[in-house]
Amino acid sequence: MSTVTIGSRFNGPPGTGNGGYVCGRLAAHVGAGPVSVRLRKPVPLDREMQVRDGELLDGDVVIASAQPAALDLAVPPAPTLEEARAAAAKVPWRDNHPFPTCFGCGPGRDDGIGALLGPLDGRAEWAGVWRPSAVLPNDGRHVLPEVVWAALDCPSAQPVAPDGGPAFVLGTFVAQVEQPVELDVDHVLLAWELGRDGRKAYSASAIIGPHGVCGRATAVWVSIG
């Protein structure tokens, strides 16, 4: 049996793990293709958990479950870096963030991803620019896959809650890393809403580098507001 510990650095909502990062850590035990992860409970920090048969277990409690999946998601044309930067300059979440210390998108973190997006002019998608640095977990050339999962997670929440609230938490995440994300290289972050059903919202995201799509994902968000 394998074990996983989510360090306190990798938080999402205060005191719990960042959804995308946790999903990426669990997905590594399932397979190399698209993986679907369902988060069932808030993820504890700094506590050793077990991984068995695709489940993340805190004692007898199932925290999350993962399985191989299909991901049929067309990515819209990428904006230019200049267009993405202009969109991100309008980001509402910078001043009105539901979880300002989040590893993925917290505006006050100097050791996080800083994935803050804004609406593209004349388009339904939101965009931003991510230039990952060596402050993030990496192998010397690229950020680790679980960081890519986290960078796909947080952007997809922002079109869902464009003014920063009410807060949503990640329910189910399906993602695939297609190319390594290189350190010190600009990447476009792209996200768009897919629909709503009551308290649930559906969205998608992509990371696009100089050589094409590095990762894509769909998310189910649940309102807690």
Dist. CA 213–CA 215, nearest whole Å: 6
pLDDT for the residue numbered 114? 93
Q: Please report the pLDDT score of residue 224 as a whole number.
A: 83
**The pLDDT value given to residue 163:** 76
**102 and 209 share a domain?**
yes
Same-domain status, 103 and 168: yes
The residues near 72 (Cβ < 8 Å, ≥ 6 apart) are none
Residues 101 and 184 in one domain: yes
Asked if residue 27 belongs to a domain, the reply is yes
At residue 164, the pLDDT reads: 65
DSSP H stretches of helix in the chain: 19-27, 81-88, 145-157
Say whether both 203 and 96 belong to one domain. yes
**Cα torsion for 173, 179, 206, 223, to the nearest 10°?**
20
Residue 26 has which token pair? 């669990």
Largest CA distance in the chain: 50
Determine, yes or no, domain membership for 174. yes
Residue 76 forms part of a structural domain: no
- What radius of gyration, in Å, describes the C-alpha atoms of the chain? 16
Looking up residue 48, the CATH number of its domain turns out to be 3.10.129.10
Q: Tell me the three state secondary structure of residue 189.
A: strand
Between CA 104 and CA 44 the distance in angstroms is 17
Count other C-beta atoms under 10 Å from residue 107's C-beta: 16
Tally of domains in the chain: 2
Domain end point (choices 24, 42, 68): 68
Q: Say what the pTM is.
A: 0.95
Is residue 47 included in any domain, yes or no? yes
Query: What does the pLDDT read at residue 1?
Result: 73
Same domain, 89 and 141: yes
Looking at the fold, whether 50 and 130 belong to one and the same domain comes out as: no
**Is residue 73 situated within a structural domain?**
no
Same domain, 62 and 94: no
Pair (126, 212) in one structural domain: yes
Cα gap 130→101, rounded to integer Å = 18
Do 51 and 97 lie in one domain? The reply is no
Please tell me the predicted confidence (pLDDT) of residue 113.
97
Give a yes or no: residue 74 inside a domain. Answer: no
CA-CA distance, 149 to 45, in Å (whole number)?
18
The pLDDT tens digits for 16-70 are: 999 999 999 999 999 889 999 999 999 999 999 999 999 999 999 999 999 999 9
Give residues with Cβ within 8 angstroms of 24, minimum separation 6.
Answer: 145, 146, 147, 148, 149, 150, 175
Whether 75 is in a domain gets the answer no
Give the chain's residues under pLDDT 50.
Answer: none
17: containing domain: 2-68
Among the candidates 68, 89, 118, a domain finishes at: 68
| Residue 5: per-residue pLDDT | 98
96 and 178 share one domain: yes
